[in-house]
Amino acid sequence: MTRVAFYSHDTFGLGHLRRCLKLASALTGSLERVEGLLMTGSPWADLFSPPKGFEIAPLPSIVKSGRSYEPRERGLGLEQSLCTRSRRIESLLDEFRPDLVIVDNVPCGLRGEMLPALRRVKDRPGSRCVLALRDVLDRLDRVRSEWSAVGAEEALEHLYDEVWVFGSDQSSAELTKLPGMGNGIPCIACGRLGLGHEFLPRSANDDSKIRVGGGQPRVLVTGGGGGDAMHLVQTYVEMLRLLRPPIDSQVVLGPDFCHRTWSTLNRNNGFAASISDFLPDLPQAMVRADVVVAMAGYNSICELEATGSRSVLVPRVWPREEQLIRAEAQERAGRATVVLPQELDPDTLWAAISRELDRPRPEPILHRGAQEAARRSAALLGVQSPERKGSR
């Protein structure tokens, strides 16, 4: 039995949790007899079904607000919550005794909360630890400062066996400039994460359109977790009210979207659209749409690429610039139109949607990041490789 534990700090949105679930799914589908533990601070973990053999272990939820953090539960202090989380992580890993620990995004955990547990894991013979990073974290100078403040360089030197970057060789090379990343630890460009399940998007050359209603173009609007999607959704609603464009609309608000805000928007504007808080299989909705209006989170970009979707991207630009960097790269590649938040208004948004409707779909891109992670896991642990398993 191979025991794998994931740590996902989850202070904002769904991205960290969803990346871990994609990796967990790949491991259970590739390695022999996997038992797993996913430690997460997300309050929305129950929206997802973990892979077979995996248990989700909740941590007290801490919310990111701008550049600061605060406990979701009122009456608790931040340091008290961090201490509680750190002790729970240590206890969970002591009991679970993983062969492999995969830490998402933050080498020391949130404010260093993973360090005691990582040290205990590394004291056990044969245990391995991996840091899993998305393609872009933020401006490198800002990340360098944050990592230095919590001792990331020492953690990478003494506590980790490998770093997996779920992006290109170029993005991996950029991240090696961070503290501790150039000290000999293997830094492997795995490629982006795919859809996480068997999924066959239609070809970009297939011009057939799946319509709902009167044969009008269909626009899907998604704000990711929804915590900072109010400006995007509000502008889209204003566009529908003022311009009356000939489109069908599907809006996925996200579980963190303020429902009071949505009730006010809907009552004041009275437009027709399909509305939901959450879709468990958002890529299927992307395929049915002619244009997707989204922010530029990591999972959104991966899924837009994998489904060959036309997109209008409205990236978050503060407190981190990772979405802006990613969105601009998509526009340079001819796969999206970018509208900056400060430029977003009904006319600009409709112009961007119209532009995307008038051009061909981009070709779908097959991402193999999860499969590469499964291969690296097998190599680290000395267990049967995915290739050998599939050839029997």
CATH number at residue 267: 3.40.50.2000
DSSP 112-134: GTTHHHHHHHHHSTT-EEEEEEE
The answer to whether position 363 is within a domain reads no
Same domain, 134 and 278: no
Same domain, 189 and 298: no
Same domain, 347 and 376: no
Same domain, 231 and 264: yes
The answer to whether position 198 is within a domain reads no
What CA–CA distances, in Å, run from 1 to 28, 148, 391? Answer: 11, 37, 21
The answer to whether position 235 is within a domain reads yes
Same domain, 161 and 224: no
Give the predicted TM-score (pTM) of the model. Answer: 0.92
Same domain, 187 and 270: no
Answer left, alpha or beta for residue 111, where phi above 0 means left and psi between -120 and 50 means alpha. left
pLDDT at 55: 97
Q: Which two tokens stand for residue 306?
A: 């994998």
The answer to whether position 134 is within a domain reads yes
Same domain, 61 and 112: yes
pLDDT at 72: 87
Which residue, chain included where needed, has tokens 């097998």? 378
Same domain, 130 and 175: yes
The answer to whether position 210 is within a domain reads no
- Which range of residues forms the domain containing residue 302? 218-357
Name the residue among 252, 300, 249 with its Cα closest to residue 278.
252
For 323-332, the CB contacts below 8 A with 24+ separation are: 323/295, 323/296, 323/297, 324/296, 325/136, 326/135, 326/136, 326/296, 326/298, 326/301, 327/296, 327/301, 330/296, 330/301, 330/304
Same domain, 353 and 376: no
Same domain, 373 and 336: no
Rounded to whole angstroms, the Cα distance separating 158 from 36 reads 24
The answer to whether position 207 is within a domain reads no
pLDDT at 332: 98
The answer to whether position 205 is within a domain reads no
pLDDT at 271: 66
pLDDT at 269: 59
The answer to whether position 204 is within a domain reads no
Residue ranges in the chain whose pLDDT is less than 50: 197-213, 388-392
- Cβ–Cβ under 8 Å, residues 212 and 242: no
pLDDT at 74: 78
Q: Across the strands, what pairs with 37?
A: 5, 55
- Cβ–Cβ under 8 Å, residues 178 and 155: no
Same domain, 126 and 58: yes
pLDDT at 385: 58
Number of domains, the chain: 2
Same domain, 32 and 161: yes
C-alpha gyration radius of the chain? 21
Q: What one-character DSSP code corresponds to residue 343? A: G
pLDDT at 390: 46
pLDDT at 212: 40
